[in-house]
């Protein structure tokens, strides 16, 4: 059991708080529902504090509860890895809960109880130290989030989304069941301790890897198992999408790391390559999908796919180096991946909360009807802009740091022994570079169309600033983005114990380097100093401004837009989201989505407008999801005749079964 | 002992022949009569077993077989058939010849199976058991090849006959069994009565087709 | 001590006799609940008996669980049917006359099942099962609609044939034991047969097992012997559907397990594992496909019962301590969950005045309580935490994958198919705009709540006694 | 001690140098082009005059514009300046040269473009959107291509810091490599695209359908316009010095070698830069602007070249080993 000094007790209390208020809210409804968010805030901060101390001390605590599987009981363990992800999870939860405080007018028994339960489940996954506890919490996470996705149940789209989501989640869970089954062996050694110590032959390991990649990939949204994200995220309430996209996908990453780095022991040579390729594909496809969207939340969902791909790339690099005994480089790559986990949690939650603010202010998710929101909601705009810069991996914010670290790891490819891997790494680097540029373009589109220009609809015109809770939630996340962007050194050092635990080594200490610069490998190799850069930028920009305003001119006149002398008052003259993406679509979309543009001109003289339409095909969805579904349905229709036979025919079936069994027995005996 | 074997052998064989006759018959009334004959033979067989194994309680079973299956049920069905005016028609799904062939195959199968399995058992038991299995399978066959409710019922009851034959053939099977058999027969009768009458009061025919109009879950 | 054993059997039959003569619905319903409750108490007392067997009755680790479960679900169902049948009479779907003997038959059926479970005699087991079957046949036909009669007829013919085959198998088993144990009762008692399993006549035993598998398999509802099950479930009154799915299938499966123990204890006899695995998988996947085409809510869950029976059979076919443990656990969880679902479904059908799934929409708006019950039930039966089914499916899948990955893949495929169908229908019924008409049902929430709480607890924590029973039984099952 | 003084001094000089020569370099190109078209063309100092004129003018801001519109010029200017400062011009090992490696430089330009494109969309005119859209499209090809080029060199020099790379390339007597040639070609193409040069874009045109960069800054005026112009001039210098320091780094001095050596290499650097500007002018008069949707293919070539170069450099590594 657990004594009070044990930090686990703290985490248990946090989880208990969440579950408790979930049950209370479910039981009493009404005003009790309002209890959820304050309690979640408390629980999350408690958990963050505890996890932070655990991470920094790099200590491990375990406990053994008489629950769960009767044979082994419920094993609980918290180490640096789970502590780190605990921090990620609970920061996200904190922000979402803070945003949720603003919902006090639209509390619903369909959302609030499940929100708390969902948060609790995610924390439980991180603490589980046996297969049953892990999968129990894992699937509980899926179920609760399913309930949240279907909260807006009047919407048929939401129902469909929820169905697809829970199906994919269950596929993933079953894959993980297989993985743990294979790891535990027929004897059923389900606790992680015995899994770690177990010896297994390469075939089994291969099975486990395949299963784990499917299981965690479907939760993290790796292509081609990503189908649920673009459906579920728009359907769920925004602070929940923030939680699902920013946090839950990270829990999936945790599962992957836990198995690949901790439970399975030394990875095989090709594993890293597989993870790398998966990551590269998801990164590129994710951002391309995103560019084709004009539903803000779908767009963000696809960017989650992209960022998960980047994280996979980092993990793949780390595995590659690890399998070649280059532990220091493995530590670098792993740090990059984990840093991106952290960053993505921050800016993706921020962006989803921003999207929520927009949705709340205008009731619209479709970019094509937004515009000019920077005027009515300047603060949201600022926060959203910071999120956009961060996710586009632009200096000096945090998104860039993790991608820069990933590039540093890629630059180490010459130290690998095999030529194919040497070449694969820069190839992945190329993909990373390409998708970074595309991501920037995509967020120029997102921010530019939504916040800049002139409003494209009445709803956008009547928009209002978000409530103070939402703003403070976004502000916290934005500040964290800036902080972790400016002082990455501390972050890298904080991951030292984690790397030690998983790889036996860690990156050189950063926080002692002057000017908070980071030098991942060596002074001559590379260095980056976000702090200095931002100081220079601010100083230079400020100085220029002041100089000009004092010594040149400060005169300013407001006037109608010039627009080459032919200004058009109607806002529909502006570029739309689709229009903005059109050149990019022409270049990348023609193959990827077999995009067909069709213009039908009216005959000369007729006054009907010409129509321009684009047809995109989501090949992955059509091939991997629709087609099998259709087959299954066809089969079930065929089989359905067995419901409508006559008694005689049923008797014939029985008779046949009997005779054939008799014959079988006669033959085998 | 020897004539014991002979007689039981003879009666059992007779039952088998009769159930072949059952399959062969294509007139409802004839089927009914044949069934009655089978029941009577069964009664004899059971009585003989009672004699040989000197287990008087078997006489109860014999009596039940004779009384119920030999007399009461046939009469009841007989009356019903006439009331429904369907005493002429009979319909078979498969032609008689084919059915007979099937029957022969099944008999062969059951003989092979049982004789192979019961190498160690006493001769009587082996014989009786093999034939009992054959009768059961033939009854099954009859249920499959007839569409008429009455014939299906009769097929079912000839299965029961086979069971009773087998049960009594197995030496010293405790009273429980006879009770169960008798009692199953009673329940059978009861349920059939209920059903057949309910069918009549609803549809004025005992063609099973009317029991398969809905077949569930169409709407 | 062991008078409790007799009590479990006698109380139902005595009360049945009393209920036959008592008129009036209200009184008999209450008495029915009372009688079931007394039986439950007796059943619970059995837990204190270590092990016991005489020439007719037996208590051991295998059947104790089933008896307790049987009596427990007996009580909840009696409680439930009190409110359900009451509502049916009010709405005039059944006349008081037709439910004149309803409760008597209910008690008789429970008694028969207890006999089957406690029997230390293969003949007695058969009698109990037969009696229970015939009574349920009558109860299925209780609505007297063409559909009901048709369902009952189908049930009777198929069940009757099955039961006769099972009887032939019983005879063969007796003969198989006759050599070793001599004539008369000994050759029919479980305890002795199992003790001397090694000395039994192997070829006869094999032959017997075939007939028993087909015979009792029909009652279990394994494809392709399942045909009676969906209609019987959907056309009969819902309490009976609950009993059928929750108990009768279990009792039939219990019979099969007994014989499997017997045959497993004899090294020379054929290994039933592969046969069971195949039949289980066929039933599982077949039922999963059928779920997609269902339009009737009760038939939907009937097919889900087939699916789960298939899964359980599969688990026992795989064998080994883990899989057998999981099978037993899943059996228990399934009967608790499925009966809970049927309780909810019955009230849903009453609330909407139809069993057509298409005509049931937006329950979560119109009837939140029912919606929650149904939703939790379906999620539980689909193997989602925090309910007990998750644990059993966890054990089945993991242990199978560790041994036979391909079989595990097939199983998972079936389970996912089923989940997809059930989820689709569940969402359709629970969510969206509610449709007219909606009646109010004054349903007693107690039965559903009791069951859901039980499976919830089982999902988090299994009491030690249960675990040890299951483990010992699992060892016996080989 | 002296070394650190030197390095700080050198850093200061470089920082101001790039700012100082930027307009002149653009001027050179203009002049060359004009002369080749038999026009007299603007004097070299015209660039400076334009900037000061614009600075003194009043700013006219569209009333639909937001604060972003007014902040962007300053950010863009300082980002471009910072990027230009980080590239070694006449000396390596400057004091702040470790502030960012070549990847950071590329990314800084990315940030600049980010704000530029946003500013283009801020006013809400058709042209602004068009310019931003096209600019983004070009960027999606140019940026990765450039990143690949620098990755390639970083892999060769096993460092991503430009001074180190430059030193390596100077000191290592390395044979002409195919990979380097490819890298150079693709970098040149990227440079043309990024600086809105023919054939990708025409800095002199205001013909709506062809313009990209000009369309984005259409609404800017006065000091804002001046800053953006200065930024693009700085960008040109930055690319020039990048190409120089990567592909003809000969004669570049180390910071410790003292002012004398600096002066030599500084003259050399300015010479190289002017040469580059003249070549650019020649190039621009000798070919025609291409349709916007051909640009994709054009830049695709750059990307392919860069990637091939990357692979080839690995192959040669293997062969040489």
pLDDT band of residue B216 (cuts 50, 70, 90) is low
- Preferred mutation among C98, C120, C149 to probe B, highest tally of B CBs within 10 A: C149
Pick B170's closest partner by Cβ from C152, C171, C185. Answer: C171
At A357, list the tokens: 């603010």
pLDDT in tens, B83-128: 766 666 666 667 788 888 989 999 998 888 888 777 766 666 777 8
**Residue D137 and residue A584: Cβ atoms within 8 Å?**
yes
**Residue C164 and residue B132: Cβ atoms within 8 Å?**
no
Rounded to whole angstroms, how far apart are CA atoms D102 and A623? 42
What pLDDT is recorded for position D176?
Answer: 58
pLDDT in tens, A59-108: 889 999 888 888 888 999 999 999 999 999 999 999 999 999 988 888 88
What pLDDT is recorded for position C74?
Answer: 94
Subunits adjacent to chain C (3 or more Cβ pairs under 8 Å): A, B
Rounded to whole angstroms, how far apart are CA atoms A667 and C206? 12
Phi then psi dihedrals of residue C44, to 5 deg: -65, -35
What share of chain A has pLDDT > 90, as a percent? 61
Q: How far apart are the first and last CA of chain A?
A: 55
**Residue C391 and residue A132: Cβ atoms within 8 Å?**
yes
Contact yes or no for D310/A430 (Cβ under 8 A): yes
pLDDT band of residue A1 (cuts 50, 70, 90) is very low
Given CB atoms, is B142 within the 8 Å cutoff of chain C?
no
pLDDT band of residue D174 (cuts 50, 70, 90) is low
Given CB atoms, is A16 within the 8 Å cutoff of chain C?
no
**Residue D129 and residue A526: Cβ atoms within 8 Å?**
no
Nearest-by-CA chain C residue for B189: C134
Give me the number of domains chain C comprises: 1
Residues of chain D neighbouring A429 (CB-CB closer than 8 A)? 147-148, 151
What pLDDT is recorded for position B182?
Answer: 58
Residue A12 has pLDDT above 50, yes or no: yes
Residues of chain A neighbouring B218 (CB-CB closer than 8 A)? 644
Range in C429-433, C459-463, D111-115, D251-255 the model is least confident about: D251-255
What count of residues does chain B have? 219
Instruction: Return the closest-CA partner of residue D214 out of D233, D227, D228.
Output: D228
Mean pLDDT (chain B) is 76
Q: How far is A651 from chain B (nearest CA, A)?
A: 6
A448-487 burial by CB neighbour count: b if 16+ within 10 A, else e?
bbbbbbbbbbeebbebebbbebbbbbbbbbbebbbebbbb
Given CB atoms, is B91 within the 8 Å cutoff of chain A?
no
**Residue B166 and residue C168: Cβ atoms within 8 Å?**
yes
Contact yes or no for D265/D93 (Cβ under 8 A): no
Residues of chain A neighbouring B217 (CB-CB closer than 8 A)? 643-644
Domain ranges of chain D: 2-320
Q: What is the DSSP-derived secondary structure letter of residue A597? A: E
Given CB atoms, is B213 within the 8 Å cutoff of chain A?
no
Given CB atoms, is C433 within the 8 Å cutoff of chain A?
yes
Residue D80 has pLDDT above 90, yes or no: yes
Mean pLDDT (chain D) is 87
pLDDT in tens, A134-158: 999 999 999 999 999 999 898 899 9
What pLDDT is recorded for position B87?
Answer: 60
Residues of chain C neighbouring A114 (CB-CB closer than 8 A)? none
**Residue A643 and residue B147: Cβ atoms within 8 Å?**
no
pLDDT band of residue B192 (cuts 50, 70, 90) is low
pLDDT in tens, B34-67: 989 998 998 898 888 888 877 777 787 788 778 8
Pick B118's closest partner by Cβ from C151, C175, C235. Answer: C175
What pLDDT is recorded for position B195?
Answer: 55
Residues of chain B neighbouring C175 (CB-CB closer than 8 A)? 118, 121, 125, 129, 170
Domain ranges of chain A: 273-543, 575-615, 623-668
Rounded to whole angstroms, how far apart are CA atoms B94 and B78? 24
What pLDDT is recorded for position A316?
Answer: 95
Using CB atoms within 10 A of its CB, is residue D207 exposed (0-12), middle (13-18) or buried (19+)?
exposed
**Phi-psi map region of D130: left, alpha, beta (phi>0 left; psi -120 to 50 alpha):** alpha
Contact yes or no for A581/D117 (Cβ under 8 A): no
At C433, list the tokens: 């705009």
Q: How far is A662 from chain B (nearest CA, A)?
A: 8
ipTM confidence score: 0.91
Subunits adjacent to chain B (3 or more Cβ pairs under 8 Å): A, C
Given CB atoms, is C156 within the 8 Å cutoff of chain A?
no
Structural domain contains residue C267: no
Look up the domain containing C394 and give its range: 274-478
Rounded to whole angstroms, how far apart are CA atoms D200 and D207? 14
Rounded to whole angstroms, how far apart are CA atoms A208 and B174? 56
Contact yes or no for C73/C335 (Cβ under 8 A): yes
**A608 vs A440, which has greater pLDDT?**
A440
One-character DSSP codes across A473-506: HHHHHHHHHHHHHH-HHHHHHHTHHHHHHHHS--
Mean pLDDT (chain A) is 90
**Residue C415 and residue A647: Cβ atoms within 8 Å?**
no
Evaluate if pTM is beyond 0.90: yes
Contact yes or no for B95/B130 (Cβ under 8 A): no
Structural domain contains residue C187: no
Residue that has been written with the tokens 């921010």 in this structure: A447
Given CB atoms, is A502 within the 8 Å cutoff of chain C?
no
pLDDT band of residue C1 (cuts 50, 70, 90) is low
Nearest-by-CA chain B residue for C168: B163
Phi then psi dihedrals of residue B35, to 5 deg: -60, -45
Instruction: Return the closest-CA partner of residue A75 out of A34, A114, A127, A111.
Output: A127
Q: How far is A636 from chain C (nearest CA, A)?
A: 5
Report in angstroms the alpha-carbon separations of C145 from B199, B210, C91, C150, C367: 11, 13, 16, 8, 28
Question: What is the three-class DSSP state of C237?
Answer: coil
Work out whether the CA dihedral A218, A222, A223, A227 comes out positive or negative.
positive
Rounded to whole angstroms, how far apart are CA atoms D71 and A544? 11
Residue A495 has pLDDT above 80, yes or no: yes
**Residue B116 and residue A666: Cβ atoms within 8 Å?**
yes
Chains C/D: 3 or more C-beta pairs closer than 8 A? no
What pLDDT is recorded for position A59?
Answer: 86
Contact yes or no for C116/C56 (Cβ under 8 A): no
Range in A248-252, A311-315, A351-355, C137-141 the model is least confident about: C137-141
Instruction: Return the closest-CA partner of residue C451 out of C349, C377, C379.
Output: C377
pLDDT in tens, C65-118: 899 999 999 999 999 988 888 888 888 888 887 787 889 999 999 999 999 999
What pLDDT is recorded for position D207?
Answer: 66
Range in A394-398, B121-125, C9-13, C18-22 the model is least confident about: B121-125
Nearest-by-CA chain D residue for A287: D140
Report in angstroms the alpha-carbon separations of A313 from A221, A348, A365, D303: 14, 18, 31, 21
Q: How far is D248 from chain A (nearest CA, A)?
A: 21
At A401, list the tokens: 């740091």
Pick B144's closest partner by Cβ from A652, A662, A669. Answer: A652
What pLDDT is recorded for position C149?
Answer: 80
Q: Rounded to the nearest 10 degrees, what angle do helices D222-247 and D67-86 cross at?
A: 20
Half-sphere exposure of A394 (CA within 13 A, CB side): 24
Structural domain contains residue C8: no
Average pLDDT over residues A533-544: 92
Residues of chain A neighbouring D162 (CB-CB closer than 8 A)? none
Average pLDDT over residues C218-247: 90
pLDDT band of residue A4 (cuts 50, 70, 90) is very low
What pLDDT is recorded for position D1?
Answer: 52
Residue D209 has pLDDT above 70, yes or no: no
């Amino acid at each position: 059991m657990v004594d009070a000094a044990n930090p686990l007790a703290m985490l248990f209390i946090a989880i208990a708080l969440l579950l408790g208020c979930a049950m209370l809210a479910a039981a009493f409804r009404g005003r009790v529902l309002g209890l959820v968010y304050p309690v979640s805030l408390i629980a999350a901060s408690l958990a963050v504090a505890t996890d932070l101390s655990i991470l920094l001390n790099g200590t491990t605590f375990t406990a053994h509860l008489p629950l769960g599987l009767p044979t082994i009981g419920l094993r609980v363990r918290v180490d640096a890895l789970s502590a780190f992800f605990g921090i990620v999870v609970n920061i996200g939860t904190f922000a979402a809960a803070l945003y949720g405080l603003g919902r006090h007018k639209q509390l619903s028994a369909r959302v609030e109880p499940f929100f708390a339960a969902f948060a609790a489940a995610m924390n439980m996954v991180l603490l589980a130290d046996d297969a049953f506890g892990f999968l129990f919490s894992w699937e509980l996470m899926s179920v609760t989030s399913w309930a949240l996705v279907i909260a807006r149940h009047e919407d048929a789209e939401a129902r469909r989304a929820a169905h697809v989501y829970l199906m994919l989640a269950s596929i993933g869970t079953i894959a993980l069941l297989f993985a743990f089954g294979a790891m535990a062996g027929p004897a059923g050694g389900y606790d992680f301790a015995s899994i770690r110590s177990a010896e297994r032959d390469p075939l089994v390991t291969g099975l486990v890897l395949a299963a784990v990649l499917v299981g965690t990939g479907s939760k993290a949204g790796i292509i081609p198992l990503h189908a649920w994200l673009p459906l579920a995220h728009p359907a769920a309430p925004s602070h929940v999408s923030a939680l699902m996209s920013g946090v839950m996908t990270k829990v999936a990453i945790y599962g992957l790391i836990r198995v690949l780095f901790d439970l399975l022991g030394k990875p095989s040579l090709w594993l890293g390559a597989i993870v790398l390729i998966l990551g590269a594909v998801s990164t590129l496809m994710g951002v391309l999908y995103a560019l084709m969207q004009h539903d803000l939340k779908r767009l963000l969902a696809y960017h989650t796919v992209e960022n998960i791909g980047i994280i996979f790339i980092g993990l793949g690099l780390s595995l590659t180096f690890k399998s070649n005994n280059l532990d220091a480089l493995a530590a670098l790559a792993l740090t990059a991946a984990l840093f991106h986990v952290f960053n993505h949690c921050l800016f993706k939650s921020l962006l989803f909360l921003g999207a929520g603010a927009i949705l709340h202010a205008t009731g619209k998710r479709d970019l094509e009807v937004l515009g000019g929101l920077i005027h009515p909601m300047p603060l949201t705009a600022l926060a959203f802009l910071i999120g956009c810069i961060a996710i586009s991996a632009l200096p000096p914010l945090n998104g860039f740091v993790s991608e820069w670290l990933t590039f540093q790891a890629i630059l180490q490819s010459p130290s690998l022994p095999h030529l194919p891997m040497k070449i694969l790494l820069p190839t992945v680097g190329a993909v990373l570079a390409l998708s970074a540029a595309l991501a920037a373009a995509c967020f120029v589109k997102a921010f530019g169309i939504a916040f800049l220009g002139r409003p494209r609809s009445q709803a956008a015109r009547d928009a209002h600033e978000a409530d103070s809770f939402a703003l403070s939630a976004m502000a916290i996340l934005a500040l964290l983005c800036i902080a972790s962007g400016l002082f990455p050194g501390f972050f890298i050092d904080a991951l030292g114990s984690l790397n030690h635990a998983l790889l036996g080594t860690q990156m050189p200490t950063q926080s002692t380097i002057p000017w908070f610069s980071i030098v991942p490998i060596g002074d001559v190799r590379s260095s980056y100093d976000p702090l200095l850069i931002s100081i220079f930028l601010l100083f230079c920009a400020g100085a220029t401004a002041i100089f000009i305003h004092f010594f040149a001119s400060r005169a300013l006149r407001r006037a109608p837009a010039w627009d080459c002398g032919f200004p058009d008052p109607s806002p529909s003259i502006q570029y739309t989201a689709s229009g903005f993406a059109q050149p990019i679509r022409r270049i990348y979309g023609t193959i990827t989505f077999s995009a067909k543009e069709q213009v039908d001109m009216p005959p000369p003289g007729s006054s009907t407008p010409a129509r321009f339409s684009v047809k995109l095909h989501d090949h992955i969805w059509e091939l991997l999801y629709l087609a099998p579904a259709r087959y299954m349905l066809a089969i079930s229709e065929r089989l359905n005749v067995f419901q409508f036979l006559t008694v005689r025919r049923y008797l014939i079936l029985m008779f046949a079964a009997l005779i054939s069994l008799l014959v079988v027995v006669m033959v085998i005996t | 002992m020897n004539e014991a074997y002979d007689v039981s052998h003879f009666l059992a064989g007779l039952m088998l022949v009769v159930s072949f006759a059952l399959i062969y018959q294509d007139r409802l009334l004839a089927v009914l009569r044949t069934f009655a004959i089978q029941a009577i033979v069964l009664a004899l067989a059971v009585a003989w077993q009672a004699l040989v194994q000197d287990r008087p309680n078997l006489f109860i079973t014999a009596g039940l077989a004779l009384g119920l299956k030999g007399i009461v049920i046939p009469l009841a069905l007989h009356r019903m058939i006439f009331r429904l005016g369907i005493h002429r028609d009979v319909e078979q799904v498969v032609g008689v010849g084919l059915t007979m062939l099937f029957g022969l195959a099944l008999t062969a199968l059951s003989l092979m199976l049982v004789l192979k399995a019961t190498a160690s058992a006493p001769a009587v038991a082996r014989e009786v058991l093999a034939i009992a299995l054959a009768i059961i399978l033939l009854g099954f066959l009859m249920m499959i090849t007839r569409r008429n409710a009455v014939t299906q019922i009769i097929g079912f009851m000839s299965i029961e006959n086979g069971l009773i034959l087998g049960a009594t053939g197995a030496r010293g099977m405790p009273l429980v069994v006879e009770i169960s058999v008798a009692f199953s027969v009673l329940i059978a009768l009861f349920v059939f009565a209920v059903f057949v009458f309910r069918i009549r009061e609803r549809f004025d025919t005992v063609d099973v087709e009317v029991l398969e109009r809905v077949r569930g879950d169409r709407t | 001590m062991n008078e409790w054993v007799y009590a479990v059997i006698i109380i139902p039959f005595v009360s049945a006799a009393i209920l036959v003569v008592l008129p009036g619905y209200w009184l008999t319903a209450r008495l029915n609940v009372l009688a079931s409750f007394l039986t439950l108490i007796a059943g619970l007392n059995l837990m204190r008996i270590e092990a016991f067997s005489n020439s007719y009755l037996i208590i051991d680790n295998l059947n104790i669980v089933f008896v307790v479960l049987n009596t427990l679900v007996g009580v909840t169902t009696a409680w439930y049917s009190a409110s359900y049948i009451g509502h049916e009479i009010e709405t005039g779907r059944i006349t008081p006359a037709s439910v004149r003997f309803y409760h008597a038959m209910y008690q008789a059926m429970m008694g028969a099942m207890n006999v089957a479970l406690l029997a230390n005699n293969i003949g007695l087991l058969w009698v109990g099962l037969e009696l229970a079957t015939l009574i349920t046949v009558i109860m299925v036909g209780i609505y007297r609609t063409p559909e009901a009669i048709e369902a009952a007829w189908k049930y009777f013919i198929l069940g009757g044939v099955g039961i006769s085959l099972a009887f032939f198998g019983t005879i063969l088993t007796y003969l198989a034991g006759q050599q070793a144990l001599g004539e008369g009762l000994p050759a029919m008692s479980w305890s002795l047969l199992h003790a001397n399993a090694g000395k039994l006549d192997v070829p006869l035993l094999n032959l017997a097992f075939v007939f028993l598998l087909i015979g009792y398999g029909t009652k279990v509802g394994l494809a392709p012997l399942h045909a009676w099950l969906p209609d019987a479930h959907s056309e009969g009154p819902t309490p009976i559907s609950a009993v059928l799915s929750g108990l009768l299938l279990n009792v039939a499966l219990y019979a099969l397990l007994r014989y499997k123990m017997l045959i497993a204890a004899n090294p020379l006899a054929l290994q039933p594992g592969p046969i069971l695995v195949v039949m289980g998988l066929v039933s599982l996947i077949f039922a999963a496909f059928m779920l997609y085409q269902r339009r009737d809510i009760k038939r939907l869950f009937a097919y889900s019962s087939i699916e789960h029976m298939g899964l359980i059979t599969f688990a026992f076919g795989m064998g080994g301590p883990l899989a057998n443990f999981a099978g037993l656990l899943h059996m228990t969880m399934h009967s608790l969950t499925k009966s809970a679902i049927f309780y909810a479904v019955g009230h849903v059908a009453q609330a909407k005045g139809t069993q057509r799934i298409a005509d049931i929409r937006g329950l979560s708006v119109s009837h939140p309580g029912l919606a929650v019950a149904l939703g939790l039930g379906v999620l539980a039966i689909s193997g989602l935490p925090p309910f007990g089914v998750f644990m059993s499916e966890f054990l089945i899948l993991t242990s199978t994958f560790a041994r036979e990955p391909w079989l595990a893949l097939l199983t998972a495929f079936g389970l996912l198919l089923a989940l997809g169908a059930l989820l689709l229908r569940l969402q359709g019924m629970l969510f969206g705009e509610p449709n007219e008409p909606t009646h109010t049902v004054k349903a007693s929430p107690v039965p559903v709540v009791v069951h859901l709480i039980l499976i919830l607890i089982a999902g988090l924590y299994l009491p030690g006694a249960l675990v040890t029973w299951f483990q010992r039984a699992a060892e016996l099952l080989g | 001690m002296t070394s650190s003084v030197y390095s700080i001094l050198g850093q200061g000089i470089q920082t101001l140098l790039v700012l100082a020569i930027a307009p002149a370099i653009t001027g050179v190109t203009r002049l060359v082009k004009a002369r080749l078209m038999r026009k007299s063309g603007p004097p070299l100092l015209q660039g400076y005059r334009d900037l000061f004129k614009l600075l003194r003018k009043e700013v006219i801001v569209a009333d639909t514009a937001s604060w972003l519109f007014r902040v962007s010029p300053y950010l863009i200017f300082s980002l471009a300046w910072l990027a230009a400062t980080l590239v070694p011009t006449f000396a390596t090992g400057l004091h702040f040269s470790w502030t960012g490696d070549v990847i950071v430089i590329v990314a800084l330009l990315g940030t600049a473009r980010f704000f530029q494109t946003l500013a283009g969309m801020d006013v809400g005119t058709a042209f602004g959107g068009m310019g931003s859209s096209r600019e983004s499209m070009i960027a999606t090809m140019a940026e990765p291509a450039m990143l690949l080029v620098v990755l390639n060199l970083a892999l060769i020099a096993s460092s991503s810091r430009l001074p180190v790379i430059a030193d390596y390339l100077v000191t290592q007597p390395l044979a002409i490599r195919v990979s380097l040639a490819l890298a150079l070609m693709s970098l040149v193409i990227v440079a043309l695209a990024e600086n809105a040069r023919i054939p990708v874009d025409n800095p002199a045109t205001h013909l709506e359908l062809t313009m990209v960069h000009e369309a984005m800054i259409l609404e800017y005026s006065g000091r804002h316009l001046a800053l953006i112009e200065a930024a693009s001039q700085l960008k040109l210098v930055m690319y020039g010095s990048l190409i120089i320091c990567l592909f003809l780094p000969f004669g570049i001095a180390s910071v410790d070698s003292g002012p004398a050596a600096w002066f030599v290499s500084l003259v050399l650097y300015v010479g190289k830069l002017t040469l580059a500007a003249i070549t650019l002018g020649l190039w621009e008069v000798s070919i025609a602007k291409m349709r916007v949707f051909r640009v994709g293919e054009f830049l695709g070539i750059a990307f392919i070249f860069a990637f091939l170069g990357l692979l080839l450099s690995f192959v040669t590594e293997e062969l040489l080993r």
